[in-house]
Amino acid sequence: MNTTHTVPLSKIIKEFSLETLNMPLTDEEILISSTDINRPGLQMAGYFKFFDKNRIQIIGRTENGFLEHFTEEKARDRLKELFAQKPPAVVICHDLQVSDIYRQMAAKYDVPLLRTKVTTSEFEAALIAFLNLNLAPRITQHGVLVEVYGEGILLLGESGVGKSETAIELVKRGHRLIADDAVEIKRVSSKSLVGSAPDNIRHFIELRGIGIINASRIFGAGAVKLTEKIDLVIKMEPWDVNKAYDRMGLENKTTEILGLEIPSLTIPVKPGRNLAIIIEVAAMNNRQKKLGYNAAEDLLKKLGMAEN
């Protein structure tokens, strides 16, 4: 089931230090649901077909300069048409001096009017990135997320298989923990997923027989990280003697998460296997594959067994 996510306008105001010129409601009550924004040049020319009123409207020097060519009465009519659409917010860039018409129309139609000192292009790029992150499709996955040699590794498996213990060993070896038990995964673009921990359990790990520990307090701030891109999924499962596990690595298996196919491996677990070292090697090997080198294919070539 698709869920529409929102972000309060107050969070945007705080993030970009926006000046408030008009606020009809409290900024916590105004919710932004669209990742798209709009520069209303065509709307100021009177064209409103295909206009999406759910987008934040950005006004820069071009739009403001266009209005200045009109008489005051015509400029009022143009702004009246724009503000009558009741967009979630109108942001003035370049710290431009706004005429009283802007304030009057914003007050009349209960539209938040904001201002920033940042240039239009810079603000647009930053706002789009912010909205893509905060409004991204997301799920919560039971697992552990760690960063190993710069690769985001999502460890999956049944409870008790050893995910948390492996994460602790990786942290002791200099890698970083992002999330334990529950991983919030967001699809931030058409090609990438980013994982993080829920705020209330961030940096905590459950170790059976010991209890809850705080990785940041025990191992230091350098042992944890807030977010990380997911580059590889590793499924941990108890060793099954009747199952044939991949011994060459020629198959490029993937796991589908939020519509994206992420490279994945299945690692069997049994006493005596050093899972931390295995995952370190898996992370480095995954990076080599992204750089275009596949050790299994190279070996087959050297043995004269590669397919032409």
pLDDT tens figures, 67-113: 888 988 999 999 999 999 999 999 999 999 988 999 999 999 999 99
| 247 vs 162, more confident | 162
Query: What per-residue confidence (pLDDT) applies to 15?
Result: 96
Query: What per-residue confidence (pLDDT) applies to 1?
Result: 42
Write the CB contacts of 285 (distance below 8 Å, at least 6 apart in sequence): 249, 295
Structural domain that includes position 227: 138-302
Within a domain: 253: yes
Task: Check 49, 69, 191, 247 and give the catalytic one.
Answer: 247
Number of domains in the chain: 2
| Distance separating alpha carbons of residues 263 and 256, to the nearest angstrom | 9
Residue 105, judged by CB atoms within 10 A of its CB (0-12, 13-18, 19+), counts as buried
At 258, which CATH number?
3.40.50.300
CA atoms within 13 A on the CB side of 305: 7
Work out the mean pLDDT of the chain and round it to a whole number.
91
Angle between helix axes 275-290 and 163-172 (nearest 10 degrees) is 80
Task: Check 163, 175, 176, 187 and give the catalytic one.
Answer: 163
Active site residue 175: no
Within a domain: 1: no
Q: 51 in the Ramachandran plot: left (φ > 0), alpha (ψ -120 to 50) or beta? A: beta
At 51, which CATH number?
3.40.1390.20
Query: What per-residue confidence (pLDDT) applies to 307?
Result: 67
pLDDT at 304 over 90: no
Q: Name the one residue in this structure whose structure tokens are 């992204």.
A: 290
pLDDT tens figures, 287-302: 999 989 888 888 888 8
pLDDT at 270 over 90: no
Q: Name the one residue in this structure whose structure tokens are 């900024």.
A: 27
Active site residue 14: no
Active site residue 172: no
pLDDT at 3 over 70: no
Looking at residue 27, the DSSP 8-state letter turns out to be: T
Task: Check 39, 181, 229, 289 and give the catalytic one.
Answer: 181
pLDDT class of 131 with cuts at 50, 70, 90: very high
Residue 62, judged by CB atoms within 10 A of its CB (0-12, 13-18, 19+), counts as exposed
Query: What per-residue confidence (pLDDT) applies to 237?
Result: 92
Cβ-based neighbour number of residue 147 at 10 Å:
22
Residue ending a domain, choose from 86, 106, 134 = 134
Residue ending a domain, choose from 112, 134, 156 = 134
pLDDT at 133 over 80: yes
Looking at residue 150, the DSSP 8-state letter turns out to be: T
Task: Check 142, 172, 217, 290 and give the catalytic one.
Answer: 142
Active site residue 142: yes
pLDDT at 225 over 80: yes
